[in-house]
Amino acid sequence: MRLVGMSRSVVIRFHLFLSVQFFRYIILFVALVQAASVFGQNPTEGRRRSQIINDSTKQVYGPKTSKFFYEEDVFLNLPTTHFIDTAIRNFHRFNYVQRFENRYQDLGNIGTAMRPIYYSAPEAIGVTSGFNAYDLYWDEERIKYYDTKSPYSNMKVILGGKGRSITRVTYSRNINQQWNFGFNFRGLFIDKQIGRSSKGDRNVRSNYYDFYTTYHTKRDSTYMIFVNFQRANHQADESGGVNYLVNNFDYDLDYFAKDVSNLLTEASSNEKRINVHLFHQYKIGKALQVYHKFDRYRQGERFNERPSLEGTYEYDYYELPTDTISDRTKFKTVRNEVGIKGNLLKLFYNGYYAIRDYSMDYSNIAESDSLSLKTQGLEHYLGGRMALRLDSIGEVSARAELLQTGNYRLEGKIESKWFEASIKQMQYEPSFVQQAYRGGFDVWYPNRRNNSFVFDDINVTEFKGAIHYRSKVFSISPGATFTRIGNYVFFKEDNYPRQPQSVLPVQVSGEQVFLLPELRLELVLAKHIFIRGHGIYGKVLKSSSDAIQIPEFFANGQLAYENIFFNGNLDMHAGVDVHFKSTYAPLQYDVPTQQFYVQSTGNQFLAYDYAVVDVFFNARIKRGRIFVKYNNIVQAITQRGYFPTPNYPGQRSILDFGFDWSFYD
C-alpha cells in the first residue's frame, strides 16, 4: 500500500472515496436508529423509549475492550494501558497550532512551516540537521501499540473551508494474544488561502504512513519486541506572504483583501523523512532486563525556484545565478543503544551505551571547499535514568547523558497531585544548517571569505515549577519557567560588513535570560458551564542582540457548555474559544533555508495585539464524533485579521466541519 507515491489525482480520488464511504456509514447508522425506534415502540405506551430485549444484538467489543500502550510505558516498566480516546472536549481543535495551545507560529495555513513562540531546548545534544520547520508534523505521530480483542479501525475526516482537508485512517488487530499488527495513514490536502486560483490549488500536500507490530512471549512476557516503519513526504508551495509590491498597496486594507496575491509563485519546498525503529528486551527478572534499540533515520530537504519567472520580486542575494534553482541537503543517522534496566522495590533504574553514525550532504558545497566542519562521524553516548515511585506522594525522577565531545544533559523532576517541579542543565551542538549552507540565494560556511561559522556549543539552564489546587467546581495552577541560554545561535537580519546577505546565523557570547510566569484555572458554574483560562506573562530579563522576541501577554480562554443527554447516547460540548497575544515582533521566515529569523531592529514588522475568537460545537453520538467550528469571527465583523508571521495573514473567517468513527469488529 504505497500511498506516498501516488499521483495527485489518485490521492484526491482516494480522499474522496474515504469521505463518500464514511457518509454511507452515517446514513446507514441513522436509518438503523430510526428503524429501531419505530419497531421498539409500544402503541399503548405512546412515545416511550423502546426496550431492546434481544441479548444477541448487544455490542460485545468497544472502547473498553481495545486498549493501547506506548513503547515508553514498557521501557519504563509502567503497567499502563490507555483507553481509546472518545472524549469530545476540544475535538474541534484539529489544526496543529490550536492543538498545542497556540504556542506555535506558522505561516497562516495548516501544514506550513512553524516554530515554537517560546524557546524549547532540543532533545538531541549531538549533531542535528537544523531543518526544523516541519518537525511538529513528524514528532506528533507517536506510535500507539494496540491490544485488541477484535479488529479496530478509525477514520477521521476534516472538511475545512476553502479546501483545507485532513484524512486520518487507523487500523490494528491482534494476530493472536501475543502478536499485534497495525498501520496509520494521515493526509494533509490544504489549498492556498491567498492567491487560490481554483479548488485543488494546493498550498500543502503531505502524506504520512507507518506500519508497526509488537510481539511478546506467553510466559510473563519474558521477551518483547516492537518494530515500526515511518515515512512522510511533505510538500509546500511557498507563497512568500502577501504581495506588497503591487502599485497602490494599502497596508491597512490590502493584506486582508479577498483578491490579494502571493509574493512568490514558483518556489516550493519538499521534505522527506524515513525512520526504521526496533526495540526489544529480555526479562531476566523484575529487577533486571536487558534491551537493545535501533533507529535508522533519513531526512532530505529540497528547495526549488525559478526566479526568472517571479516578476518584480528580487532576493537580496544570488549565489547561484541560474534560471532554475534546486538546493538539496540530506541528513542520515544510524543509532544503536544497549542497556539494562529494572525495578528495585519502588526504584526504577536504567543505564545505557549508544553509538550514533551520522552524515550530512550538501548538494552545492563541493568537497574541494575544505570545510573545517566535520560532516560525518561517530558519536558515543553514556546515560541513565532513575525514578522513585511513591504512590502516596508522587514520583521523583532523574536523567543524565554524556557525549564524548563534552556535551551533556542533566534533568531532575518531581511530580505529585499537589505540585510539580523540574530542572534541566544541558549543553548541545549547533545544527549543521547554522554552521554551513550554500544554496541559490544563501551561503555561509567555514573558510568562506575568511569568515568562520563554526560556533561554540550552546548551554541551557531551565527551572520550571507549578502548584495545583483542584476541586469539583474550581481548579487553579500557578507556575513559572526560568530559562538562561549561553552562546545562543540564531538567525538574524542585519547589515553585515563584507556580506551581501541580510540574513545570517550569528552567535552571541552574552546570555539570554527570560521568565515566564503562568496561570491556569477552571471554574464550573451550574454543573455544566465551564470557564477555562491560561495566561503567560513573558518577561525578558536579559537578551544580547535582541535574540529573544516573545509577546508580553499571551492568553487562551474558553467559555463552554457541556452535558450528556439521552442516557449517555449524546455527549455535547459547545462554546467559544479566545486566543490573544500582545503586540510584538515575531520572527520572520526565510523561504529558501526554512529558517525563522529575528527581524532587523530598524525595520520591524509588528504583529499587533488581536483576539482570535472561534465558535464551536462538538458532539458524540454512539461511537462517532462530529464538530462544527466558525473561525475568527472578529475578522468577519471588522474585516481585519492578524499576522502569526510577518507578511503572512492568519486564518480568515471560515467554517470547518469534521468527524471520526471507530469500528471494533
- The answer on 46 and 65 residing in a single domain is no
Give the residue from 9, 32, 58 where a domain finishes.
Answer: 58
Contact 444, 432 (CB under 8 A): no
Q: Could you say which residues of the chain have pLDDT below 70? A: 1-59, 368, 370, 447-453
- The answer on 84 and 46 residing in a single domain is no
CA nearest neighbour of 226 among 54, 72, 84: 72
Q: What is the model's pLDDT at position 38?
A: 36
Q: What is the model's pLDDT at position 373?
A: 82
Give CA torsion, residues 361, 362, 366, 370, to 10 deg: -70
pLDDT digits (tens, 9 = 90+) for 335-361: 999 999 999 999 999 999 999 999 999
- The answer on 450 and 311 residing in a single domain is yes
Residue 156 main-chain phi, psi, to 5 deg? -125, 125
- The answer on 322 and 234 residing in a single domain is yes
What cell does 651 get?
486564518
Residue 576 main-chain phi, psi, to 5 deg? -135, 135
Question: Which residue range forms the structural domain that includes residue 243?
Answer: 59-663
3-state secondary structure of 27: helix
Contact 511, 545 (CB under 8 A): no
With a CB cutoff of 8 Å and minimum separation 6, the contacts of 145 are 68, 69, 70, 71, 180, 182, 212, 214, 226
Q: How buried is 524 (Cβ within 10 angstroms: 0-12 exposed, 13-18 middle, 19+ buried)?
A: middle
527, HSE (Cβ side, Cα atoms, 13 Å): 2
- The answer on 152 and 35 residing in a single domain is no
- The answer on 110 and 37 residing in a single domain is no
Q: What is the DSSP string of 235-275?
A: EEEE--SB-TTSTT--TTTGGG-TT--BS-SSEEEEEEEEE
C-alpha span between 473 and 491 (Å, rounded): 47
Give the residue from 58, 73, 97 where a domain finishes.
Answer: 58
- The answer on 64 and 50 residing in a single domain is no
- Given the DSSP bridges, would you call strands 511-525 and 489-493 parallel, antiparallel or unpaired? unpaired
With a CB cutoff of 8 Å and minimum separation 6, the contacts of 126 are 356, 358, 379, 381, 403, 405, 407, 428, 429
- Given the DSSP bridges, would you call strands 145-147 and 115-116 parallel, antiparallel or unpaired? unpaired
Supply the CATH number for residue 204's domain. Answer: 2.40.170.20
- The answer on 585 and 509 residing in a single domain is yes
Give CA torsion, residues 425, 429, 430, 433, to 10 deg: -140
Give exposure, 132-168, as e/b (b: 16+ Cβ within 10 Å): bbbbbbbeebebbbbbbbeebbbbbbbebbebbbbbb
C-alpha span between 95 and 109 (Å, rounded): 9
Angstrom CA distances, 432 to 50, 300, 319, 365, 591, stand at: 67, 13, 19, 13, 17
Contact 411, 399 (CB under 8 A): yes
C-alpha span between 26 and 521 (Å, rounded): 38
C-alpha span between 196 and 191 (Å, rounded): 7
Residue entry with cell 558515543: 380
C-alpha span between 188 and 234 (Å, rounded): 9
What cell does 32 get?
438503523
Strands annotated E in 20-98: 67-69, 82-83
Residue at 280: amino acid letter: H
Q: What is the model's pLDDT at position 602?
A: 81
- The answer on 437 and 375 residing in a single domain is yes
Contacts 24+ apart (CB under 8 A), 172-179: 172/66, 172/68, 172/146, 172/148, 173/148, 174/146, 174/147, 174/148, 174/149, 177/218, 178/215, 178/216, 178/217, 178/218, 179/213, 179/214, 179/215
- The answer on 109 and 9 residing in a single domain is no
C-alpha span between 434 and 413 (Å, rounded): 31
How many other CB atoms are there within 10 angstroms of residue 302's CB atom?
16
Strands annotated E in 239-375: 267-285, 288-305, 325-344, 347-362
- The answer on 97 and 37 residing in a single domain is no
- The answer on 471 and 590 residing in a single domain is yes
Contact 606, 583 (CB under 8 A): yes
C-alpha span between 244 and 192 (Å, rounded): 17
Rg (CA), the chain: 27
Overall domain count for the chain: 2
Q: What is the DSSP string of 93-162?
A: --SHHHHTTT-EE-SSSTTS--EESS----S-SS------TTHHHHHT----EEE-SS-EEEEEEEEETT
What cell does 512 get?
539570554
Contact 182, 170 (CB under 8 A): yes
Give the residue from 42, 58, 74 where a domain finishes.
Answer: 58
CA 287 to chain centre: 36
Q: What is the model's pLDDT at position 219?
A: 75
Residues β-bridged to residue 202: 191
- The pTM of the full predicted model, rounded to 2 decimals, is 0.88
